[in-house]
Amino acid sequence: MLYEVARDFVKFKVGARTLLAVVTTVGLFGGLTACTIDTGSSSDVSPVAEGEEVSGENPESPESQAPSVSVDDGAVDVDPSDPVTVSSATELKAVEMTNQYGKVVEAEFNDDKTEWTTAEVLGYNREYTIEATDVHGNVTTTSFATPTPSATTGVALGPLAESTVGVGQAITFRFTTAPTDRKAVEESITVETSNDTEGGFYWIDPNELRWRPAEFWEPGTTVSVKADLYGLDMGDGLYGSDDNATNFTIGNRVRGVVDNETKTMKLYRNGELLRTIPVSLGRDGGRWSTPNGTYVIGDSHESLVMDSNTFGYAPEDGGYVTPVKYATQMSYSGIYVHGAPWAERALGSYNQSHGCINMTDADAKWFQENVKRGDPITVKNTTADTLAGWDGLGYWNIDWDTWKEGNAETGSAY
């Protein structure tokens, strides 16, 4: 008998390999039917259509995904204050981050080692490289750079932490170097109060920013302030050198009223009149007349030399160099409450000072002991204009509508 043998090649997929199976067809002359090998009985073998790509691993499976980094490879000017993270869909085996000098950055894993996070603040002018490997051998390498500032500046905050201040106290931010992106600076600052006090920012001058409530604080209010400036671009290559924070409490409502018509100062605490004090103010009608308006208590000194040279007024031009006792600051321009024993005949009767509020040493001592930083003092009925809002402790003389509008574009209350 004669047999006809035909060979066909058929592709099969077995696991991760592709096999060529030889199929032999035997035909018998005389009407014998052809037979084929039944491959369907093998559970791990399936036919693959011609042209179909065969892969040994699903590219979307967790095992095939390399670790991901929160910073793009090749990124520049990366904020050094932001933590850098490496994440894995499975488990990280090893992660190391170094700067251009080979220093290893401190970091930590989470409990299941699916995430790695830097544990120290990064530096300016640094180039960092991260190499991350997961337990399946997938590797990710990422390099990036932080900014190179032309200069850095810090900020001094007031009031001091844990202090108790008066209802008129503003929050002060004093910059060593004046920032030009003042809006970015404002947005980096957080002010939190215990009673959602409404308030806003205003620049007294290019170096000094204030935050003030719309109205005097409520006694007992607690306030916390955070200035997150490190890593912040303040404009023109100026960056924040560090963060800063403070917190304080608003004390009793203490207010003073100085009335030029009666030549007296009345001091109140929580609405109760504590004392009426005879005073003498700045000479009427000239450069020495005491300005009207709202002042805020600043520094206090048991003794102080009042020197008009510091404000450009020499003694030969009508200025003064005078030691005084119990000097309590009311303005940046040199107006103080202080003892003036030489002026006792004028107290309660007429004005003779260079702008300060004179009283006896005993009354000046009592006054200093009963007021605190941030207590407001109102002066009224003098011949002078209103104390300027840009005079460091005269900021309540800027009306709220103007204040809440802000002045980040100009950066000065002048």
Which residues does the annotation mark as catalytic?
Answer: 338, 356
- Type of residue found at 6: A
d(CA 138, CA 61): 12
| Opening angle at CA 181, ends 178 and 183, nearest 5 | 115
The two beta strands, 244-250 and 163-165, are parallel
- The answer to whether residues 201 and 406 touch, using CB atoms and an 8 Å cutoff, is yes
The two beta strands, 107-109 and 115-118, are antiparallel
d(CA 384, CA 191): 36
The secondary structure of residue 404, as a DSSP letter, is H
Q: What one-character-per-residue DSSP string does 155-206 give?
A: EEEESPTTEEE-TTPPEEEEESS--S-HHHHHHTEEEEETT---EEEEEEET
- The answer to whether residues 260 and 381 touch, using CB atoms and an 8 Å cutoff, is yes
Q: Is the dihedral of CA 66, 71, 72, 76 positive or negative?
A: negative
Distance separating the N- and C-terminal Cα atoms of the chain: 118
d(CA 284, CA 164): 36
d(CA 338, CA 342): 12
| Opening angle at CA 358, ends 270 and 216, nearest 5 | 30
Q: What are phi and psi of 79, to 5 degrees?
A: -60, 115
